Amino acid sequence: MLYDYNKFYKKYPVNQHDLTLNHSSRHAMIASLCLGKVLDIGCGTGNLADYFFGDYTGLDISDVAIENAKKIRRKDASFFVRDCSDLSNFDLSSFDTIILSEFLEHLESDDKIFNAIPKSAKKDARLIITVPNGDRIPDESHLRIFTVPDLRKKLSPFGKVKFYNWPGAIGQILCTVDLGQKNDNLVSLVMVVKDEENGLERAILSCIDFVDNIVISVDSKSTDKTLKIAKLYADTLKSHIFEDDFSKLRNDAHQGVKTKWILVLDGHEFVSKKAELEKYLTSSLDGLLVPVELENGFIFHYPRIYRNGFYFEGKVHERVSCKKTQYYPGFLIKHGRLGVQASEAILFRRKQADEMIPRILEAELKKNPENIRAHFHLGLFYQSNGNFKKALFYYSQYLKYSKNSQERWFILFHRSLCLLALGRLFLAFHSACLAESEVPGRWEIPRLKGLIFFQKRKYAKALEYFVNSFKNYQGVVLYRPWPRKLDYTWNLIGECFYHLRNYEKAFHAFSRAAQLCENEDAKKFLNDRAKLMYDIFRDSLKSY
């Protein structure tokens, strides 16, 4: 039985579909995607006419809705009563854009829509489609639910399909189809996930507008809604049982992918920047080295975008076997478990890493004592667990065999930090100098040297190095162990001036730190320190 839409429009205000942020942002997003002359099928009371100001025609089955649209929308917009559940006899050839927004879910079948559009519409027309995302918007008038893979499969034969990450994407899918254009089939998103319900959707949506295929392999022991969410987006949904080998997981997940490139994301990551992506995807290299930023601000570069046909190696700290790579600074992946992954899942992952990393990597070293990858990661593992002496052993072994200057800089930097933590200040300074010789000009080394002299209570020398750390480095940086945080450096400068009893300059340094600080609690603390320095300085003047 057909839903009584006249009854609906008599009951609710004419701007019912603009009363929430999702609806207004949906209209604004659709308007930004419209080309030329627009036909809005199932237009309701014509809300879109208030967002799109070009040639607009709205059709709806409800004569109440259309009468209201004629009264309240702009006078140069056209509105007509039409039953659009069958477009077989419609002439669509004069329209550049055809919109089916929140319309298809109200039909038991859309065969008479999509059989007609390719025959009647312009060969280069654009379809704009929005539907509820799965069962996220329950409504008595909805007869079907849709998912991203459902729509991609249905619409791809008609033209180039693109999905969009917009403010209401979790509740409503928005996509375009440019009729007659070929789908790019450039990039597949491939994910291996377990208990990631809090972050998985954010990860997928962060790249949904540039990936052409989504593959998700869900751990069979997941206990949350990870699988349910994956079903909303995965063109290929797989299941796996973890077998003590992360490379095998990733290789099994991307098996069968047909696109030229593969993007790997974990469920607690997301893409926050993708500048000039199309340009980099024309590269003939094996992989693109993209920055990955961890919770603590540490950034490293890894070929998370790699050419199809390459495989992962290594049971832990797995790496893809790319030989020719290109640095791609315009892309950024942000990694963060806290607040995204369940605390039980985080604890499990930490225990798993604490057991697997030393067991597997030390076994690899027994087979090959010159395995620099094992020395590299074991050093970082033991340093992160506070075992600085053991970390120093593996760092020394790494430095024996490695010739990679960027990695050597990184390891010498961490070697210096370990020595600093152990109070071996002369050796810490020597390691920092060796790092400087590997990659000259990095700002981190003057700050590190400043910390060493600060611990030695040589505050004037520390001050000199802290000031030098403000210099910018212009070269390629594959590892960034510290966030820039200029407020932190100014605070250190203030500390130096305080110990040197130059309270006036300490006041200015702490004030500058407070100006740059983004954390409100820390900002208050720094302002209090600045005031204290000012008070001490003022009192010292009174004594003369």
CA dist., res. 540 & res. 544, Å (int): 7
Residue 123's Cβ-count burial label (10 Å; 0-12, 13-18, 19+) is exposed
Assess whether pLDDT exceeds 70 at residue 6: yes
- In degrees and rounded to multiples of 5, residue 170 shows phi and psi of -65, -35
Structure-token pair, residue 450: 């400043």
- Cα–Cα distance measured from residue 155 to residue 171, given in angstroms and rounded to the nearest whole number: 20
Nearest-angstrom CA–CA distance, 184 and 174? 18
| Average pLDDT rounded to a whole number, residues 130-157 | 94
Confidence band, pLDDT 50/70/90 cuts, at residue 22? low
Is the confidence at residue 261, as pLDDT, over 70?
Answer: yes
pLDDT of residue 1: 43
Q: Is the pLDDT of residue 406 over 90?
A: yes
Beta-strand pair 38-41/312-313: unpaired
Question: Which residue matches tokens 């033991």?
Answer: 382
Please give the single-letter amino acid code of residue 256.
Answer: G
Quick one: which H or E segment has residue 248? helix 246-254
Closest to 252 measured CA to CA, from 347, 318, 183: 318
Is the pLDDT at 527 greater than 60? The verdict is yes
Residue 450 to residue 458: CA distance in whole angstroms? 9
| 336 pLDDT more than 90 | no
Tokens coding 56: 């607009």
Residue 470's nearest CA partner among 509, 503, 431 is: 509
The number of C-alpha atoms within 13 Å of 122 and in the hemisphere containing its C-beta is 17
Q: What is the mean pLDDT of residues 382-386?
A: 96
* Average of per-residue pLDDT across 412-440: 98
DSSP-assigned letter for residue 102: S
Question: Mean pLDDT across the chain, nearest whole number?
Answer: 94
Given a contact cutoff of 8 angstroms between Cβ atoms, the answer to whether 529 and 510 are in contact is yes
* Range ranked top by mean pLDDT from 14-18, 101-105, 137-141, 340-344: 101-105
Strands (E) located in 241-394: 261-264, 269-274, 287-293, 299-307, 312-313, 319-320, 325-327, 331-335
Burial class (CB in 10 A: 0-12, 13-18, 19+), 406: middle
* φ and ψ at residue 300, rounded to 5 degrees: -130, 165
Work out the percent of the chain whose per-residue pLDDT is above 70. 97
Task: Please say if the pLDDT value at position 14 is more than 80.
Answer: no
Cβ neighbours of 153 (radius 10 Å): 12
Max mean pLDDT among 10-14, 55-59, 241-245 falls in 55-59
What domains appear along the chain, each with residue ranges and CATH number? 5-179 (3.40.50.150), 187-335 (3.90.550.10), 343-463 (1.25.40.10), 486-542 (no CATH)
Q: What is the mean predicted confidence (pLDDT) over 239-257?
A: 95
Task: List CB contacts of 22: < 8 A, sequence separation 6 or more.
Answer: 167, 168, 171, 172
Gap between the Cα atoms of 287 and 305, Å rounded = 6
Q: What is the pLDDT of residues 476-511, one digit of tens each?
A: 889 999 999 999 999 999 999 999 999 999 999 999
Q: What is the pTM of this model?
A: 0.90
Angle (CA) 206-211-216 rounded to 5° is: 80
Helices 486-499 and 503-516, axial angle in degrees (round to 10): 170
Average pLDDT rounded to a whole number, residues 170-195 = 96
| C-alpha dihedral (285, 286, 291, 294), degrees to nearest 10 | 180
- Residue 120: predicted pLDDT: 95
- From CA 123, how far away is CA 107, in angstroms rounded? 25
Residues 6 or more apart from 19 whose CB is under 8 A from it?
13
**Residue 345 pLDDT class (50, 70, 90 cuts):** confident
Distance CA 119, CA 459 (A): 79
Distance CA 23, CA 157 (A): 29
pLDDT at residue 13 tops 70:
no
Q: Write the CB contacts of 303 (distance below 8 Å, at least 6 apart in sequence).
A: 286, 287, 288, 289, 290, 320, 322, 325
How far apart, in Å, do the first and last CA atoms of the chain sit?
Answer: 95
290 pLDDT more than 70: yes
Closest among 540, 462, 538 to 500, alpha carbons compared: 462
For 454, residues 6+ apart whose C-beta sits below 8 A from its C-beta are 462, 492, 495, 496
Q: What is the pLDDT of residue 476?
A: 82
